């Protein structure tokens, strides 16, 4: 059994599914997802989308676990002891330095070899080459936000990360248009966080970033059609200049899985430092796609493996 402690909304959950699915294809074990942390995060963060977001996709069969303490469900004594020892060492540093991602990565990877041998894959940021050699049940807890966890099964993910229910007629018309024109998906996340420290870390993509990215696209792509996905379309219309080009603004009431289905139809991508926009470009299948991204994922020194060397980085 591969047990997954799920975190975040759709973009985050897709990383956790992809890592677990890759491990499943190597081990043949069933998948078990707990969404308790997602529900807890909903109470803290607010907004929509805090749910089992995987259920909307044609993915591998999985069971769900709704009780507390997934760690203690069908885990070996060694797994439990090692995980508790790791967390006792890790948690004080996390509480004191929640945005020191480089320090947190160092702390976690210090424990990773021992945890890996016990079938525990635990890493919040970055990449660690976990193995698939353990013979018992696995426990996965973390972000797994690195293509190194699942790039070997990209073809599988392209098939599975398709929505179960069809788009509406209007949505399908937009999707088809984006498939046949020189479409550019622009993901714009307008941060309005009450926590100033969080905003300072995550508010990477400025209006100047988008202006430069749009300029580059116009130089490289003939007659681009911009498809704008944002959590604040009014802010976009007042701050981002697309003059001279056709612009399609995403409907604000679109469900997240339908948004992704439409976004990935685009040929090119200007992404923000968001897992959701990362998945749109990853699932985009245009052979000559251009991807423009911020040079860094956070406003700190942590080097995220999400940024591809082949992209245009600003």
Residue at 180 is within a domain:
yes
Last residue of a domain, which of 101, 127, 155? 155
Residue at 161 is within a domain:
no
Residue at 129 is within a domain:
yes
Residue at 302 is within a domain:
yes
Q: What is the pLDDT of residue 191?
A: 76
Per-residue model confidence as pLDDT tens digits over 150-164: 999 999 999 999 999
User: Are residues 185 and 128 part of one domain?
Assistant: no
User: Are residues 149 and 177 part of one domain?
Assistant: no
Domain that holds residue 89: 2-155
Q: If you write DSSP's letter for every residue of 120-189 in order, what string do you get?
A: EEEESSS-----S---S-EEEEE---SGGGTGGGHHHHHHHSSBSSPPPHHHHHHHHHHHHTTEEEEEE-
What is the rounded distance in angstroms from the CA atom of residue 295 to the CA atom of residue 298? 9
User: Are residues 25 and 91 part of one domain?
Assistant: yes
Query: Averaged over 97-114, what is the pLDDT?
Result: 96
Task: Give the confidence band of 40 by pLDDT, cuts at 50, 70, 90.
Answer: confident
- Whole-model pTM? 0.96
Pairing of strands 225-230, 62-65: unpaired
Last residue of a domain, which of 90, 122, 155? 155
User: Are residues 220 and 123 part of one domain?
Assistant: no
Residue 59 has pLDDT above 80, yes or no: yes
Closest CA to 174 of 234, 286, 250, 276: 250
The full length of the chain comes to: 314
% of the chain residues with pLDDT over 90: 89
Contacts of 136 by beta carbon, 8 Å cutoff, 6+ apart: 76, 79, 119
What is the rounded distance in angstroms from the CA atom of residue 189 to the CA atom of residue 204? 10
Task: Give the confidence band of 194 by pLDDT, cuts at 50, 70, 90.
Answer: low
User: Are residues 121 and 43 part of one domain?
Assistant: yes
Per-residue model confidence as pLDDT tens digits over 266-306: 999 999 999 999 999 999 999 999 999 999 999 998 999 99
Residue 76 pairs in a beta bridge with: none
Residue 47 has pLDDT above 90, yes or no: no
Give whole-number Cα distances, 84 to 69, 72, 90, 294, in Å: 12, 11, 10, 37
Residue 46 has pLDDT above 70, yes or no: no
User: Are residues 139 and 274 part of one domain?
Assistant: no
Last residue of a domain, which of 120, 155, 190? 155
Q: What is the pLDDT of residue 236?
A: 95
Q: What is the pLDDT of residue 49?
A: 84
When divided into structural domains, the chain yields a total of 2
């Amino acid at each position: 059994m591969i047990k997954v402690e799920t975190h975040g909304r759709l973009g985050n959950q897709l990383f956790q599914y992809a890592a677990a699915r890759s491990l499943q294809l190597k081990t043949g074990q069933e998948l078990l997802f707990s969404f308790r942390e997602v529900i807890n995060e909903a109470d803290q963060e607010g907004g929509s989308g805090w749910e089992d977001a995987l259920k909307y996709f044609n993915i591998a069969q999985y069971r769900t676990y709704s009780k507390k303490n997934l760690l203690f469900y069908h885990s070996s004594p060694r797994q439990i002891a090692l995980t508790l020892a790791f967390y006792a060492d890790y948690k004080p540093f996390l509480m004191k330095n929640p945005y020191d991602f480089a320090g947190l990565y160092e702390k976690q990877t210090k424990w990773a070899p021992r945890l890996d041998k016990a079938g525990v894959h635990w890493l919040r940021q970055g990449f660690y080459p976990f193995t698939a050699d353990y013979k018992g049940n696995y426990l996965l807890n973390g972000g797994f936000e690195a293509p190194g966890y699942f790039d070997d099964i990209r073809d599988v993910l392209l098939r599975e990360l398709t929505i179960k229910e069809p788009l509406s007629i209007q949505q399908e018309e937009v999707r088809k248009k984006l498939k046949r024109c020189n479409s550019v998906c622009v993901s714009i996340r307008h941060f309005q966080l009450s926590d100033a420290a969080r905003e300072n870390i995550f508010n990477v993509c400025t209006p100047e970033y988008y202006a430069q990215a749009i300029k580059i696209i116009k130089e490289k792509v003939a007659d681009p059609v911009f498809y704008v996905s944002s959590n604040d379309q009014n802010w976009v219309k007042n701050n981002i200049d697309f003059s001279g080009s056709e612009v399609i603004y995403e409907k604000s009431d679109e469900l997240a899985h339908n948004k992704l289905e439409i976004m990935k139809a685009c040929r090119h991508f200007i992404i923000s430092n968001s897992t959701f926009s990362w998945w749109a470009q990853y699932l985009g299948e245009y052979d000559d796609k251009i991807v423009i991204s911020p040079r860094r994922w956070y406003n700190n020194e942590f080097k995220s493996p999400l940024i591809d060397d082949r992209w245009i980085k600003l």
